Amino acid sequence: MSVSLTVSDLKMAYGDFQALKGVSFHIEPGQFVTLLGPSGCGKTTLLRCIAGFLEPQSGEIRFGDKRMNDVPPHKRNTAMCFQSYALFPHKTIYENIRFGLRMHKVPAAEHDALIQKAMDMVGLTGLGGRKPYALSGGQQQRVALARCVVVRPDLLLFDEPLSNLDAKLREKVRVEIRELQKELGVTAIYVTHDQAEALAISDVIIAMNHGVIEQIASPRTIYDKSANRFVADFIGTANLLHCKYAGRDACNLTLDTDIGGFTVTDDGYDRLDDISVSWRPEDMTPLPEGGEIPQGCNVISGMVRNSVYMGDRLDIFMHSGDHVFRASVARDYDIPEGSPIRFAVPYGKTRIVQG
């Protein structure tokens, strides 16, 4: 059974440090939601409050209609995949997975079938007799996952579960986690500081910073329409430039910056004080020398500072005024350092963000 989760005005402090400053959000049953933010932003604290390991100072946590604040962790029917896997070192893989069933008083006659099914699900068939230390990191993570899903939790919690795996394996396991969650239809909350992971895996991303939620949106929205400077900068890579509102016509807004004017498609922006203009490196198209400026594009001119070959693309760092901007272009593009360069950025790919 999957449940909805409602968190209302949650506050939590460690001594003088306020880790959560009144966090509120709602998650629908069966959604895969990622708490994303830099170290110390409060995402793990929030997850541990939901699991019941930490008692919030104030605020409310509800699973469905049930208030959970006073429910101890062992009665919340959540299952958490820990960053360190937290496998029981003295138990075999089979016993590790069986632990939750025993604690939930599932009849012993059903254990074998349920454990087998969970092990098959995560590709651990035949490894039940081994101890955790005899498994690789990826296998240990799968055991942790099997141990969670076997108890059919209301809420599946992940605390940076892939951070100890190498990049290739991380990609593989995150796909498996997502497929498993979809198959079970269970509500999942996933903590990570890896924005690529968050974008790839989530239905909804909750971007956090300094104990507050900066934006709640789908991966596409949070990337394309970042709410503020922090989100634009943290999710992916963004070029950011402080600007001032200069005017507005039927479709566009014009902005003044210290490297010249910018035009941005009007997306119904209402707050226009303390703003920056933002655009993504991959939305910058190099213009041939003396070539015409395409319609509906801003032009950014400068000098190539250096370029970095990334395998699938070339990242060019350019000086423009006192600023350095980053552009991602086709990997076969070649330009020497110090050369003058111009880029076109469509109005529709240029955004206004707060801050």
Q: How far is the CB of 87 from another protein (least distance, A)?
A: 8
Of 72, 126, 268, 288, the one binding another protein by CB under 8 A: 72
Interface with another protein includes 78 (CB under 8 A)? yes
Q: How far is the CB of 18 from another protein (least distance, A)?
A: 22
User: Which of 209, 179, 181, 178 lies closest to 193, judged by CA?
Assistant: 209
Which CB sits closer to another protein, 133 or 309?
Answer: 133
Interface with another protein includes 192 (CB under 8 A)? no
Residues 143 and 135 sit within 8 Å (Cβ to Cβ): yes
The interface region with another protein, picked from 100-108, 169-177, 181-189, 228-236 by CB under 8 A, is 100-108
CA-to-CA distance for 339 and 99, rounded, in angstroms? 64
Interface with another protein includes 163 (CB under 8 A)? no
Q: How far is the CB of 82 from another protein (least distance, A)?
A: 5
Which CB sits closer to another protein, 76 or 229?
Answer: 76
Which CB sits closer to another protein, 103 or 303?
Answer: 103
Interface with another protein includes 92 (CB under 8 A)? no
Residues 327 and 284 sit within 8 Å (Cβ to Cβ): yes
Interface with another protein includes 288 (CB under 8 A)? no
Interface with another protein includes 333 (CB under 8 A)? no
Interface with another protein includes 311 (CB under 8 A)? no
For another protein, the binding residues in 22-41 under the rule CB under 8 A are none
Interface with another protein includes 127 (CB under 8 A)? no
> Residue with structure tokens 């006659």?
109
Residue 126 is classified by DSSP as: T
Neighbours of 243 (CB within 10 A): 23
Interface with another protein includes 73 (CB under 8 A)? yes
> Residue with structure tokens 């190539």?
304
Interface with another protein includes 147 (CB under 8 A)? yes
Residues 5 and 189 sit within 8 Å (Cβ to Cβ): yes
User: Which of 233, 231, 254 lies closest to 243, judged by CA?
Assistant: 254
Which CB sits closer to another protein, 89 or 311?
Answer: 89
Residues 149 and 180 sit within 8 Å (Cβ to Cβ): yes
Which SS3 state, helix, strand or coil, does residue 254 take? strand
Which CB sits closer to another protein, 101 or 213?
Answer: 101
Evaluate the CA torsion angle 304, 305, 310, 315 in order and state its sign.
negative
- Amino acid identity for residue 22 in this structure: G
Which CB sits closer to another protein, 104 or 172?
Answer: 104
In the chain, helix, strand, coil percent, each to 5?
A: 25, 35, 35
Q: Which residues bind another protein (CB under 8 A)?
A: 51-53, 72-80, 82-84, 86-90, 99-100, 103-104, 131, 133, 147, 151, 157
